Amino acid sequence: MRFTDDSWDSVTEEQFWRETLKAHRAGLEAIEQKLGNSSGFYLNLLSEFDAAVHFTRPECFVSRAAFVAELRRLMIEPPAPSRPVPSVEEYQRAQRILLKSTIKRYDTPS
């Protein structure tokens, strides 16, 4: 599993997260058209999408440590919603959950 493997494959990781962004973008658009922006699923998807936009810059994939450092930075400086949301507090809560779980998966002892 790529989360527990001690090696770091920057190309594979960046590709995974870019594909995730693409899927999230499509999902957001579909949900927004059908349900609007008030569903909990939409809010979770948007919070994950907005965070991933920040940590998918090429410089974040130079090493596992750089990737985790960017995730930690986003915990301190969370991105604002890129689209209107019914509750900024719920948006930020969902984003923190994503960031914490992603840090936990990737932050391996050196």
Q: Could you give phi then psi for residue 98, rounded to 5 degrees?
A: -60, -50
Instruction: State the DSSP H helix or E strand holding residue 87, giving kind and residue range, or none if neither.
Output: none
For residues 53 and 21, is the Cβ–Cβ distance under 8 A? yes
Q: How far apart are CA 71 and CA 63, in angstroms?
A: 13
Q: How far apart are CA 106 and CA 61, in angstroms?
A: 12
pTM here is 0.84
Across the chain, mean pLDDT equals 89
**Domain residue limits, the chain:** 10-106
Q: What is the pLDDT of residues 36-45, one digit of tens each?
A: 777 888 899 9
